[in-house]
Structure 1
Amino acid sequence: MNTIFKLVKLHNCTIAKTPKRAKNQLILFSLLSLFCSLIAIAQEKKQDTLTVNHLDDVLVSAVRVTSKTPVTFSNMSKTEIAHRNLGQDIPVLMNYLPSVVTTSDAGNGFGYTGIRVRGSDATRVNVTINGIPYNDAESQGTFWVNMPDFASSVQSLQLQRGVGTSTNGSGAFGASLNMLTDSYAYKASGEISSSYGSFNSNKNTMKFSTGLLNDHFELAGRLSTLKSDGYVDRASSDLKSYFLQGTYVGKSTLIKALVFGGTQQTYQSWNGIDAETLQENRQFNSAGIFTDEFGNTRFYDNETDNYNQDHYQLHWNESWSDKWSSNFALHYTKGKGYFENYKEDADMADYGLNAVDAITTTDLIRQKWLDNDFYGTTFSANYNAENISVILGGGWNRYEGDHYGKVIWARYASQSELGDHYYDDFSTKNDGNLFAKVNYQLSNQIGFYGDLQYRNVSYQANSWETGLVNDTFHFFNPKAGVTWTINAYNNLYFSYARANREPNRTDYEGGNPKPEKLNDFEMGWRLNSEKVQINTNIYYMGYRDQLILTGTLDDVGNPYRSNSEKSYRLGLEVDATWAILDKFTLRPNFTLSSNKNVDLAVDGQNYGTTDIAYSPEVIVGNVLVFKPIENLYLSLLQKYVGEQYMNNIELPAAKLADYFVNDLNVSYEIKPKSVFKSIVITGMVNNFLDKQYISNGYMWDVYPYYYPQAGINFLVGLTLKF
């Protein structure tokens, strides 16, 4: 960042001249300049008696809900996250929420991790950070490995199941997850935390905050490093991340400039293992395997995925009166990286190489690169009165992706030159949406909710994988519901939501996909008393042309999907919090569901009604917290996932067995009288019953491949706060 600015003085916000900049540096410089301009405006603005205590909430108010909204949701606070934040990814920390199933390629929660909600994979879970889309625009997936230890900078998160309310970015077909990053701190603070565990897993984090300087300015940041060998052989990860935030706080103004991101190198463990290898060596990893010229089996030592991602966000939150507030944000994300493979006996023609005499194949090492830019704006205006609240919002975002491949070594190099590209693709995607949401309280008992969204998406691509793509979609997504407050403890709700989604890049690789359509009906009961909280929800999600997972993968591990003309998900979700005694809290949840393709036709053959792949009928979670003394928390965490198929035609070989996993979490805080404000000791024993289980897999034709998860393993951590 020294090449971007020489000096930022928070009191007068002076930015010195800088040398010629690259595109991402120019955008960051522009965001910083605008940050300073907004602060100047805010300082000049006349302040009256208005005071806003929760300006941070405006960042996510356009996409979050409360119990007054007829939507089913779960919240996680910073405290709840901190008890288990020892290096594992955010999906793993969310594992015990209702209808959630998580998995890890490396088997221990480091590196590549995934999440499914109600049987819907990560491409169908809309993710926003401070209201700004995070899903990759082309694949629509979320790659948490690119933001290691992001949980250390999350203030809170909310998972809305089903379609939820209108949000920015890709359509939510299983859930939407929105995260709010750290709020500002009034007092200066520092924090150092380290953890270590099985498979040489470790995390080191440093955080700081200046506190509010002159009651208006704060600078805060974080640096993190994470490493792990992984449970699976050679499934190592070497991850680094940072988070820097500048904040201006006025009586009615909150301005934040954020820069955060990470860099990762992970040894590939995408291949999984077949059934025979699972019995012989469940930790085997075939990635990088080859036979040398002397007939020896070897593994290429740099069969790795390498990626760097940087995010820039600028937020301006303003409370104009006791009824009106607004949020305006600009964002830019720069991503660049590649994965590297050793290819044995590769066809030279596939890499633009001429035959050498009669030799048409060669061993080679290739890199497949992605260089992308994602930028845009989000905005909202909020009106809150006694009986009505209105949110008007939307966003516009553009993605530019440059895909290319290089051969960096070949046994028979032919006419190639170092740096030559054997393919070059470029794709763009524009995504704009406008929405209006209304909560109207007709009486003390009856409240109505309405939500209208228009979304316009255009996608262009030209590659040998996708062919020529030039599609534009116009989606109208209405939502409505009613809430009946029976008394101070009970309310009932019913809602309907319409959602539409465009295909992703891999879908175009697999054929000529249609956009998907979903009608989501939700009906629930909430009980909220002093000792007991219960949320019960029944849902029916009816799909047209749902893109269902076939179980097979492309050459970089992306799942292929195909349209199913008609399918549905019908389920019951129940979660509760019960303060049994002063020292015990029980938080159970379960989901019972039926997930079906209707009259499924594949390659001209009709299979009738079948189970949707990766959709277990039973998911159960439970957290039992015991607090024997002040500041000591002992938690038993349990997860049961029923059997599920890895394809949609119910092949017996495609069935994954059910599993039941138990974890133990300990957190103890000591508050010394000097030096440190707090010393926190945490520990996790994962899968302490040493269950041998598989949480994910795929089908290659009729052959199953599995991703085994670790048996008993541990993590321990120490956090010093001052």
Structure 2
Amino acid sequence: MAWAQAPVSGTLTDARSGQPLPGATIALDGTAVGTTDANGNFSLPAVAAGAHELRFTFVGYQPLVRRLAGQPTAQQLSAALQPADVLTGEAVVTATRANERTATAYTNVSREELQQRNFGQDLPYLLDQTPSVVVTSDAGAGVGYTDIRIRGTSNTGINMTINGVPLNDPESHGSFLVNLPDLASSISSLQVQRGVGTSQNGSAAFGASINISTLDNRREAYAETQNSYGSFNTWKNNVQFGTGLIAGKFTFDGRLSRIATDGYMNRASSDLKSYYFAGGYQQKNTLLKFITFSGREKTYQAWNGVPEPAITGDRALLQTYVDNGELSEADAARVLQEGRRYSYYTYDNQTDNYQQNHYQLHLSQGFGPNWNLGAALHLTRGFGYYESYRANRRLSAYNLPNVVLGDTTIRRTNLIDQKWLDNYFYGGTFALNYQPANNDRLQATVGGGWNHFDNDHYGEVIWAQFASTGNMRHRYYFNTADKTDYNTYARATWQVLPRLGVYGDVQVRHIDYRIKGVEDDQNDVTTSASYTFFNPKAGATFALGEGQQLYASYAVGQREPVRSDFTDRPAGDTSAKPERLNDFEGGYRLSLPNTDWLGRNTAVRFEANYFFMNYRNQLVATGQLNDVGTPLRTNVASSYRTGVELTGFASANNKVSLSSTLTLSRNRIRNFQEVSYDADFNRVVGERRTSTISYSPAAVSAHTLEGQPLPGLRVALLYKTVSRQYLDNSENRRRSLDPYQVMDLRVRYTIRPAFVKEIELGLLVSNLLNHRYEANGYTYSYVGASGRPETFNWYYPQATRNFLASVGVKF
């Protein structure tokens, strides 16, 4: 009897109208197990004997938690959700989210799914199994500086927002999640949109957007702690708490986190701390919520990666690096000793130190049954530096005079410098939504935002072996950046016929950007640029039958160059141009929450999405980096990305499930001309040809097979494949990343003793098959000491087999 399992089914309705609620999310013991069908029906094929928690959630309604006792016989139950008396945070976030009506490609990730994946690694690694995603880590194990690419586009082309507030750095366009460690523990829901997607606040989406929400109100009091330990002395500790709803009006939630690791690479440690706090007030149709979160990171610099001979062991190639001054003799000796875990730096405080404080004030106001307004004020305060030991540097490069000792003139010195950022980012966003309560044929949103960014860039010398007139913290460069960005958009979906819906979205965005002063190389980088972009979008959906849909859309995305495109341009190059993307998407969706398949009760989902992303003046990576590890880029007149994304999911009796995604794509530059130099240093321009865009694999797949062999025990195998990636745009295999395949094992076991609500034990074994692979790199070439062109490749090796074990307790 104790091991017996029987189905549980029922219907979910609106508590006021009695109408069914299709598409509501159902979670059993914190694990998403399905959604309601078009008639509000649901079915859980097998629920083990014992006590369980069944949770129903639906946008615009209060979550409902039901206690469920598993029995050896089938059970039938009905549940009704109360409409939210005030707007929930999730309802506001939908202003910028895609849905089945917007004819775009997207993936929703719930709080429960993130919790299953979260052992302390950064957010990109928790999204590794979503379509078209490739992730990498400088330190090799997913903690510290990590990066995510979607459809071959780096995070500078991925719009990221938290509660509708832009997260991307306004100058670099990057989202540095190392500054917000353990953010995933505070996320209530997340959506990844691929392609241009819907209009967003902040920088334009040129490959995807990641829309994060932390606004969920948890109506019951809670306290939780998660703790992990694993390879490379990796630790994660956090505590979370919430008061639930106090006096029907107030809520308070908080989190404290610390993550620390030595890193897979030598001297690639991270020490990361963060907090999250939210206080909310709700009254009738009003919700006011203040949120603050912050992260402080100290990471040893692993930006340089490792030279190719450290990977291959090629001593002759290693000597080439030495002969051309890329490595010293001492460096070469360490390459042979440390191998693929080699670290370029040896100075004990070669670290990056940064703190980022976020403050958000959100207002949700309902105006009758059909209208609601979401508005937010925000401030982000960022400051920090990275410290470096510099050997044999010219004093003049640091605005220091030569040192004269008798008849000896000293022109070079060893020194330690710090490069600082000190910035404020502030502004406001709004979204006015029309969502009829009794007629959902037409839904519309008008929204936008105004944001301003002030940033000081400067460098200081804190120690020098020789510096006769230099003072402590001698400032050797300073420049300021000032950027204003405002946009407005209007979006609507209209169900023209019972089966046919149309979608329209138009955005106007304006940017003013000013740089004034000199950069670290003493060059004047004073720049003034202004842009106005008009970005229309349109689409249509057609319902083929129960749970089946066809969709197609067209969208325009445009964006301005990033800071390094202005400050790091090669000599003789003109100023960077803005990019334009015409994005065509079309596909088929199938969703059968409860169906009889192969004689057993099964849930099935499938999607096939075709995309054609046609670029004008796309800024693509050249394969080189600047001195802080930022990829250098150049405009190419005409390029495109096209392919198909296949996504499938099937589960049987809540005992076993399989999810798979496969992306096959072509990523090409038209009329590409490679530039090189001959032995006489003459510039050589190659013939025009079609070439593959750098860092754009032709095939990416992810697969998760998960089973429940025993009640409370879930075991999953995760498999990831990424095809060849080129480090520059020459399509030269000599400058590429080899294809790789990685398998992970995840085990979670949940028990519910009498003295606490839940205890969960977890184990993550990454790279189970112990493959050696590199997920990122860079390259550059020049005429070397031999008098002929030489190529120098640097790579970021990823960790071999490693583990993280966790213990989580819910009170």
Asked if these proteins are the same fold (TM beyond 0.5), I'd say: yes
Letter in 2 for 1:409: W
* 2:495 counterpart residue number: 441
* 1:721 counterpart residue number: 810
* 1:461 counterpart residue number: 515
633, 636, 643: which one aligns with 2:714: 633
- Is 1:711 aligned with 2:800? yes
- Is 1:301 aligned with 2:364? no
Q: CA offset at residue 627 of structure 1?
A: 1.6
Q: 2 CA distance for matches of 1:475 and 1:322?
A: 35
Of stretches 299-308 and 571-580 in structure 1, the one that deviates more from structure 2 is 571-580
Q: CA offset at residue 50 of structure 1?
A: 8.1
* 1:399 counterpart residue number: 453
**Contact 1:55-1:253 at 8 Å conserved across structures:** no
Per-residue CA deviation, residues 382-421 of structure 1 (Å, 9 max, x unaligned), is: 0023210000000000000001100000000221111221
Q: 2 CA distance for matches of 1:688 and 1:580?
A: 26
Q: 1 CA distance for matches of 2:339 and 2:249?
A: 56
110, 117, 140: which one aligns with 1:84: 117
83, 97, 107: which one aligns with 1:64: 97
Tell me, what secondary structure is at the counterpart of 1:185? Answer: coil
674, 678, 686: which one aligns with 2:758: 678
- Is 1:169 aligned with 2:216? no
* 1:24 counterpart residue number: none
Q: 1 CA distance for matches of 2:517 and 2:709?
A: 61
* 2:397 counterpart residue number: 350
- Is 1:583 aligned with 2:655? yes
* 1:149 counterpart residue number: 182
* 1:238 counterpart residue number: 271
Tell me, what secondary structure is at the counterpart of 2:628? Answer: coil
**Contact 1:439-1:448 at 8 Å conserved across structures:** yes
482, 492, 496: which one aligns with 2:550: 492
**Contact 2:757-2:810 at 8 Å conserved across structures:** yes
Letter in 1 for 2:482: T
**Contact 1:153-1:182 at 8 Å conserved across structures:** no
363, 379, 382: which one aligns with 2:414: 363
Tell me, what secondary structure is at the counterpart of 2:710? Answer: coil
**Contact 2:478-2:518 at 8 Å conserved across structures:** no
Of stretches 275-284 and 102-111 in structure 1, the one that deviates more from structure 2 is 275-284
* 1:266 counterpart residue number: 299
Q: CA offset at residue 540 of structure 1?
A: 0.2
Q: Which runs of 4+ in 1 moved over 4 A?
A: none
Q: CA RMSD in A?
A: 1.3
Of stretches 693-702 and 90-99 in structure 1, the one that deviates more from structure 2 is 693-702
Q: Which runs of 5+ in 1 are unaligned?
A: 1-48, 289-298
Q: 2 CA distance for matches of 1:51 and 1:703?
A: 60
Letter in 2 for 1:388: L
- Is 1:381 aligned with 2:432? yes
Q: How many residues align?
A: 663
Q: CA offset at residue 720 of structure 1?
A: 1.1
**Contact 2:748-2:760 at 8 Å conserved across structures:** yes
Of stretches 306-315 and 385-394 in structure 1, the one that deviates more from structure 2 is 385-394
Letter in 2 for 1:471: A
225, 238, 257: which one aligns with 2:258: 225
**Residues 54 and 668 of structure 1: is their aligned pair in 2 closer, same or farther, counting only changes over 3 Å?**
farther
* 1:521 counterpart residue number: 584
* 1:549 counterpart residue number: 621
Tell me, what secondary structure is at the counterpart of 1:550? Answer: strand
Tell me, what secondary structure is at the counterpart of 2:312? Answer: helix
Letter in 1 for 2:471: E
Q: 2 CA distance for matches of 1:186 and 1:180?
A: 17
Per-residue CA deviation, residues 170-221 of structure 1 (Å, 9 max, x unaligned), is: 0000000000015222222111221000000000001111111101101110
Q: 1 CA distance for matches of 2:713 and 2:687?
A: 58
Q: 2 CA distance for matches of 1:560 and 1:52?
A: 51
Q: 2 CA distance for matches of 1:423 and 1:348?
A: 13
TM-score with structure 1 length normalisation? 0.90
Tell me, what secondary structure is at the counterpart of 1:83? Answer: helix
* 1:409 counterpart residue number: 463
**Contact 1:406-1:422 at 8 Å conserved across structures:** yes
* 2:630 counterpart residue number: 558
Tell me, what secondary structure is at the counterpart of 2:125? Answer: helix
Tell me, what secondary structure is at the counterpart of 2:356? Answer: strand
Per-residue CA deviation, residues 280-328 of structure 1 (Å, 9 max, x unaligned), is: 444444443xxxxxxxxxx210000000000000000112121111101
- Is 1:329 aligned with 2:376? yes
Q: 1 CA distance for matches of 2:700 and 2:110?
A: 23
Q: Which runs of 5+ in 2 are unaligned?
A: 1-81, 314-337, 570-574, 594-602, 676-684, 782-790
Letter in 1 for 2:448: G
Q: 1 CA distance for matches of 2:252 and 2:123?
A: 25
- Whichever of the two has the greater Rg, that structure is 2
* 1:656 counterpart residue number: 737
Tell me, what secondary structure is at the counterpart of 2:101? Answer: coil
* 2:135 counterpart residue number: 102
Per-residue CA deviation, residues 24-44 of structure 1 (Å, 9 max, x unaligned), is: xxxxxxxxxxxxxxxxxxxxx
**Residues 64 and 552 of structure 1: is their aligned pair in 2 closer, same or farther, counting only changes over 3 Å?**
same
* 1:508 counterpart residue number: 566
**Contact 2:87-2:366 at 8 Å conserved across structures:** no
Q: 2 CA distance for matches of 1:507 and 1:303?
A: 26
**Contact 1:157-1:177 at 8 Å conserved across structures:** yes
**Contact 2:87-2:365 at 8 Å conserved across structures:** no
Per-residue CA deviation, residues 232-255 of structure 1 (Å, 9 max, x unaligned), is: 001000000000000112332221
Q: 2 CA distance for matches of 1:555 and 1:50?
A: 54
**Contact 2:639-2:670 at 8 Å conserved across structures:** yes
**Contact 1:84-1:682 at 8 Å conserved across structures:** no
Letter in 1 for 2:613: M
Q: CA offset at residue 714 of structure 1?
A: 0.2
Q: 2 CA distance for matches of 1:713 and 1:51?
A: 45
- Is 1:621 aligned with 2:667? no
Of stretches 372-381 and 180-189 in structure 1, the one that deviates more from structure 2 is 180-189
* 2:362 counterpart residue number: 315
